[in-house]
Chain A
Amino acid sequence: MESKKKAVTGLLFILPSLLGMVVFVIAPFFMSVYYTFTQGITEVAFVGLGNFIDLFGNPTFTLAVKNTVIFIGIGVPLVFIIALSLSFMMMNSKFVVARWALLTPLMVPISTVIIGWQFLFDRLGNGILEKLGLQTINFFGEKYAMAVIIMMLVWKNIGYLVVIFTSAISVIPQEYQEVFRLESKSQVKYGTMVVLPLITPMAFFAIIISIMNSFKIFREIHALYGENVPKSIYMLQHFMNNNFLKLNYQRLSSAAFLLTTVIFILIWVFMKAQNKYMSDL
């Protein structure tokens, strides 16, 4: 009886939030699944998996998938490694100002800073190249766009990850380091052999957060290019946005459904891996 009452109280507390979630995301999501199996606007026909087959035959879609995979596949590991190395380097000192500086990009709206970036690359960067008598580079053009936005992803997310890693490292008892010192003086060895295994569960979390944040690169790209996105950084988000504007809900819903499935599987795998890791410890 007591536990039943408790269950009801618990549910009541999450209810307001859950209701909003159901109304704005979950229920309509399942409704939109209906779109994924139909085609046509005035005469709706059931097409089974037809939309998915169409998607994979659509060169724009495959391009968007390819670019998104490249972007996340390079960007996330890169920011992960940089942030982890910085956290190791700052492990034994405070570095108040540096930490403050590293986290600043998190708070800077992209609309503000995009002009700063343009200035840096186009005026300062190319200005220096010109003075040196070298050929100037169109940093924001087709060829270098991917590298530029990966750099912006790194810029935005280093600080957040450094905070996560630092807090994970700070939980490790100081004695570990003292004991390890008796064996070896190498800071690098201490990092990879002692610290890294201990913070692995947090690393899972950090990767998931970074993937989530990497989808927000849409903002940077929008601020830089508006509607004219170079082919080399045409992402899934653009594909979906464009199909929405073309009122092609079926195609968009099918892509959304696929993306949701992939993310679902990814989180599932991470959670399983994390649980397994925790129980092995």
Chain B
Amino acid sequence: MGRKIIIRMIILGFSLFCLLPVIITISSSFFTYDEVKDGPSFSLPHFSLQQFEEILLRTPQYLGWFWNSVKVSFSTLVIAIPLSLMAAYGFSKFKFPFRDVIFFLYVIVMLMPFQATLVPQYITLKELDLLDKTAAIILPNAFSAFGAFLMTQFMRGIDNEMIDAAKMDGMSDYSIFIHIIVPLSKPAVASLFILLFIESWSMIEQPMIFLSDSSKLPLSVYLGKIASTLYAGGTIFLILPLLIYLLGYEDLVEGISLGSIK
């Protein structure tokens, strides 16, 4: 019996560990900044919306950067998801020369840290005259190797008999994709949506290098620089990912597990 309690304590401990910094950020945003910024205080601060007022009403750049983040994240998703689905269908349900080599290449690209592909990406963006344009932080991520990989892992699990039966009925490869594969992939798409969203929502590396015009930067780069309203700024930035997490939790879990089964 005692063992069970210890196990529960450990699980509780790690759960708290995971939530604590988030709880601190959110709760600190409801006090005046002066109360939370100075040294350790164990006295109870006073509830206040001062930080939110400051950031929403008196920091016009904040909303601009926030809007940049929204634009960049959703543009990336709108391109990445259809492309990933198509590529995955090709990888999982067709045989063609060099298929496995190309897929292996995708895995390598997927695992590459951004800095390793920095020079190549920079060269291309320069040639295409995209540097310092918002597209510079959308396009390279829109062709997502991870997306194609995750969807392929998922589609490999889709029963081939179903596809063969549809072929017997005279369906073309294209309509099989639209009417069978895409609807069946819904949970995986939801999961990919969430994973890609959070990836571009918290992006720091690319905008730092590819954009020099500060008005085009997403909020993720600038958040730390708005000192006096840090906590409120962070809390507002967290609303969208948290909402998506609340709504998509089941799909996210299903997608992560489906994506990892060989």
Do the beta carbons of A82 and B21 come within 8 Å of each other?
no
Inter-chain contacts of A107 with B (CB < 8 A):
194, 198, 241-242, 244-245
| CB pair B94 A7 closer than 8 Å | yes
How far is the CB of B106 from the nearest CB of chain A, in Å? Answer: 7
Interface residues on B, range: 35 or more
Asked if A102 lies at the interface with its beta carbon under 8 angstroms from chain B, I say yes
- A123 and B110 CA atoms in complex are apart in Å by 39
User: Nearest chain B CB to A75's CB is how many angstroms away?
Assistant: 14
Is the Cβ of A244 less than 8 Å from the Cβ of B87? no
Fill in one digit per residue for A166-193: 1 if any B CB lies within 8 Å of its CB, else 0: 1110010000000000000000000000
Q: Are A259 and B86 in contact (CB under 8 A)?
A: no
How many angstroms between the C-alpha atoms of A155 and B116 in the bound complex? 25
A24 touches B124 (CB 8 A): yes
Selected from A13, A98, A201, the residue in CB contact (under 8 A) with B15 is A98
Assess the B40–A124 pair: CB atoms within 8 A: yes
- Using CB atoms and an 8 Å cutoff, list the residues of chain B in contact with chain A: 7, 10-12, 14-25, 28, 36, 39-42, 83-84, 86-87, 89-91, 93-97, 99, 102, 104-124, 139-140, 142-143, 145, 148, 173, 177, 194, 198, 201-202, 204-205, 208-209, 219-221, 223-224, 230-231, 234-235, 237-238, 241-242, 244-245, 249, 252-253, 256-258, 260-262
- Of the A-B pairs whose beta carbons lie under 8 Å apart in the complex, a sample of 21, sorted by A's number, is A10-B93, A20-B142, A28-B119, A111-B220, A111-B223, A111-B237, A113-B25, A116-B21, A119-B28, A205-B260, A215-B113, A219-B204, A223-B204, A226-B224, A236-B115, A237-B114, A237-B115, A241-B118, A249-B119, A259-B116, A263-B112
A interface residues with partner B (beta carbon < 8 Å): 3, 6-14, 16-21, 23-29, 31-32, 35, 82, 86, 89-90, 95, 97-117, 119-120, 123-124, 126-128, 130, 155, 158-160, 163-164, 166-168, 171, 201-202, 205-206, 208-209, 211-212, 215-216, 218-219, 222-223, 226, 236-237, 240-241, 244, 249, 252-253, 256, 259-260, 263-264, 267, 274, 278
